Amino acid sequence: MSKEKILVVEDAPDISSLLKIYFTSQGYEVMTALRGQTALEICRKTPPNLALLDVNLPDMEGYEIGKALRQSARTRHIPIIFLTARGEKQDRLKGLGEVQAEYYIVKPFDIEEVHTIVKGALDRARQKNLTHPVTNLPTAELINEQYRALLATSGWALAMVHINGFEAFTQSYGAMVGEEVMKFTALLISEAINELGHPEDFAGQMIVGPSFVITSTPDTIQAICQRLCDRFDADIGLHYDYKDRRNGYITIQGEDGSVRQLPLMSLSIGILTSDDGPFYDIRELSESVEEVRQRALAEAREQGRKSHMSIGRA
């Protein structure tokens, strides 16, 4: 399982360094930012499992960072803990009330106490099954919540993305390398949304299997998915050794001793929009978009394509 990521947003280098050294020694992956804009950019590209925010920063207040995280479907689930010198009642109320932070810690602080609070917040988030353990993308109930939001509105687009050949790849290369492929795909999805989508667009991952969910608008979803297909096909070979990359396939031996040649991984993507409805519940919505994805997979095999997307109900 991947290390949990903590984002430390603190403009005092000594405090930032102390927190990074301590939490790294406790087994976390620690990212740091001296400015609020840098912190928001990190969260857009690689959302952390938890954010430790100072309030007084050179370019914006920590409250603004927290509100921005809460406003985005991709980051609103991230636990926030304020770690600041501003300890007045109105400051606490703003952090806990308006931003909905998990905790508000006033400097000076005891670092072991901070660790206990951080660990508790991460444990609670894990128990709620809010994020995927490998990619840290929203999963389970957060995806269902997004589906319910789609059902209540119009003008939306939904894409189901699946990594074809992932199981055979992990059989050949191992689960750890498979996790790197999922992280790679999650990063490509985030980059495509950041480049071509909207701030309110959503990306999530199903808790079981290498399947991802993207929600956007009809005018941008195809461009996002096409960029994703192009980038995936261009770079997925880097996860294979030279021989398999040169051959364009991997060799798998079955339990009966038979040998099969399987192509390198690709993506199959099914896309639905609100115009393909009406959809009456989240089960119908999820099953319908999966049917379109299966059609994309069948079309890719028939036409000898790599990554491929299919759009709308048949």
pLDDT in tens, 150-197: 999 999 999 999 999 999 999 999 999 999 999 999 999 999 999 999
Same domain for 301 and 188?
A: yes
Same domain for 163 and 307?
A: yes
Same domain for 122 and 149?
A: no
Q: Are 16 and 34 in contact (CB under 8 A)?
A: yes
Would you state the pLDDT for residue 1?
57
Same domain for 157 and 195?
A: yes
Would you state the pLDDT for residue 314?
66
Same domain for 293 and 147?
A: yes
Same domain for 70 and 189?
A: no
Residue 133 lies in a domain: no
d(CA 173, CA 168): 9
List the one residue out of 192, 190, 202 whose CA is nearest residue 157.
202
Domain boundary residue among 127, 157, 178? 127
Half-sphere exposure of 209 (CA within 13 A, CB side): 10
Same domain for 211 and 243?
A: yes
Same domain for 200 and 151?
A: yes
Per-residue tens of pLDDT for the chain, all 314 residues: 578 999 999 999 999 999 999 999 999 999 999 999 999 999 988 889 999 999 999 999 999 999 999 998 889 889 999 999 998 999 999 999 999 999 999 999 999 999 999 999 999 988 777 888 899 899 888 999 999 999 999 999 999 999 999 999 999 999 999 999 999 999 999 999 999 999 889 999 998 889 999 999 999 999 999 999 999 999 999 999 999 999 999 998 877 778 889 999 999 999 999 999 999 999 999 999 999 999 999 999 988 889 999 999 86
Domain count, the chain: 2
Would you state the pLDDT for residue 128?
79
Classify the C-alpha dihedral 40-46-50-54 as positive or negative. negative
Same domain for 146 and 272?
A: yes
Write down the H helix ranges in 166-281.
166-173, 175-196, 221-235, 242-247
For residue 83, give the CATH number of its domain. 3.40.50.2300
Residue 35 lies in a domain: yes
Q: In which domain, by residue range, is 182 found?
A: 141-311
Q: Which residues pair with 8 in a beta bridge?
A: 32, 52
- DSSP-based three-state secondary structure for 36: helix
Residue 109's CB: how many other CB atoms inside 10 A? 14
Residue 158's CB: how many other CB atoms inside 10 A? 25
3-state helix, strand, coil in the chain (%, to 5): 50, 20, 30
Residue 289 lies in a domain: yes
- Beta strand pairing call for 202-205 and 308-311: unpaired
List the one residue out of 82, 68, 70 whose CA is nearest residue 117.
82
Same domain for 105 and 187?
A: no
Same domain for 119 and 220?
A: no
* Burial state string for 47-85 with b = 16 or more CB within 10 A and e = fewer than 16: bbbbbbbbbebeebbbbbbbebbbebbbbebbbbbbbbe
Residue 132 lies in a domain: no
For residue 288, give the CATH number of its domain. 3.30.70.270
Same domain for 121 and 166?
A: no
Please give the structure tokens belonging to residue 254. Answer: 């079955």
Residue 285 lies in a domain: yes
Q: What is the rounded end-to-end Cα distance, in angstroms, of the chain?
A: 39
d(CA 297, CA 307): 8
Write down the H helix ranges in 206-279.
221-235, 242-247
* Burial state string for 202-241 with b = 16 or more CB within 10 A and e = fewer than 16: bbbbbeeebbbbbbbbeebbbebbebbbebbbeebeebbe
